[in-house]
Structure 1
Amino acid sequence: MASLQDQLLKAGLTTKQKARQANSDKRKKNKQKRSGAQVEASMQEKVKQDIAKQKEQKLAKDAALNAEKQEQLAAKELHQRILQILAHHQVKDIDGEVEYNYTFGTKVKKLLVNELTQKALVNGRLSICGLDDVTYVVTKETADKLATLDETVVLLSNDKVEESVDEDDPYAAYQIPDDLMW
């Protein structure tokens, strides 16, 4: 039995050129199908790799966000701890008529204190700390502890240091008093 193609050629409904073209197209389609199966497998592999890469990126992003949240939580916890120390160890009953000037950030501020507190601030027994635009007067030990947590909290902490007087200094006889007001 002859193929359909042969029958069509005998009947004169097609030509040899069209028959060859049809065979060529058929072979190309079969070849594409065979190679297409391999292409699909490589495409699937590529898709799997892309999904794995996206998962890794998402995990890295999540880890970064988690680390940032942990840092924010630690900073908030430190802030609350410093605030608690300041509130608990704040020296009370320091109000008076003597002005004591200190710097808070970029501003010079005044604190009205009594004479005993003013002498203690000058001698370094008391220190001034500030947090959230609030000023606290605390002991030197408390200020030292706060400085280990955050140095920016301590605004003023005087150290009583005996200065050696230079013998050649022409102004040696004119010492500046510690309680000089400015």
Structure 2
Amino acid sequence: MAGSLQDQLLQAGLADTAKAKRLAKDKRKQANVARRGGHDPAEETREAARLAQANKAERDRELNEARNAEASRKAINAQIKQLVANHKLPRGKGDVGFNFTDGTRVKKLYVTSMDQKQLAAGNVAIVKQGDQYEMLPRPIADKIAERDAARVIICSEADATGLSAEEQDWYKDYEIPDDLMW
């Protein structure tokens, strides 16, 4: 058997000696240019493959982070939904309108006079569940606020008035009527 594939093709008459010499000369020129230029074509392809692999790993990591964040958000929403469903206070037939703000809008929730007093004292909080509002005991509202503070609409008298502690001290000498409704 002959040595290389090129020798075998030449012996079989399938390749031309001039063409084989020209290919060998071109191969030597490429190797020479690569050696003089300081870069190896094989090294370039290895570097490109490494870079592509690093880019793919980065994209995969970002996708995994997005999936994990979405799963975490869904789990938190499910926990909040379960807390609201298990601990919401029955409103019954409320005859007193309790006004509160949700963002920039003023909403009204009809509650009993006892519920109104509990809301004003901060023992009961209003929590947003979807497009509805539910009343929950303060400790449960605090647990919901740990998970998503935007869901707890009103939680105490300070939140209801919107005044800071310093502003509340300013008005402490003035009596607020019990029947004041806004």
Normalised by the length of structure 2, the TM-score is 0.71
SS, match of residue 43 in structure 2: helix
SS, match of residue 49 in structure 1: helix
SS, match of residue 78 in structure 2: helix
SS, match of residue 139 in structure 2: helix
For the 8 Å contact 1:119–1:179, the answer to whether it is kept is no
Structure 1 unmatched ranges of 5 or more: 1-27
- Residue 93 of structure 1 and its aligned partner are, at CA, apart by 3.6
Partner of 1:176: 176
C-alpha RMSD of the superposition: 3.0
**1:158/1:179 CA distance change after superposition, 3 Å:** farther
Partner of 1:98: 96
**1:178/1:35 CA distance change after superposition, 3 Å:** farther
SS, match of residue 137 in structure 1: strand
Matched, 1:35 2:29: yes
Partner of 2:15: none
Partner of 1:46: 44
- Identity %, equivalent residues: 30
Q: Which amino acid letter does the alignment assign opposite residue 120 of structure 1?
A: Q
**1:180/1:94 CA distance change after superposition, 3 Å:** farther
Separation of aligned partners in 2, 1:94 and 1:64? 48
SS, match of residue 89 in structure 2: coil
For the 8 Å contact 1:94–1:117, the answer to whether it is kept is no
Matched, 1:147 2:145: yes
How many pairs does the alignment contain?
150
Partner of 2:65: 67
Structure 2 unmatched ranges of 5 or more: 1-21, 159-164
Separation of aligned partners in 2, 1:71 and 1:178? 47
- Which protein shows a greater Rg? 1
Which segment drifts farther, 63-72 or 33-42? 33-42
Cα-to-partner distance string for 1:120-157 (whole Å, 9 max, x where unaligned)? 11111111111322101001111112112111111111
Normalised by the length of structure 1, the TM-score is 0.71
Separation of aligned partners in 1, 2:99 and 2:180? 11
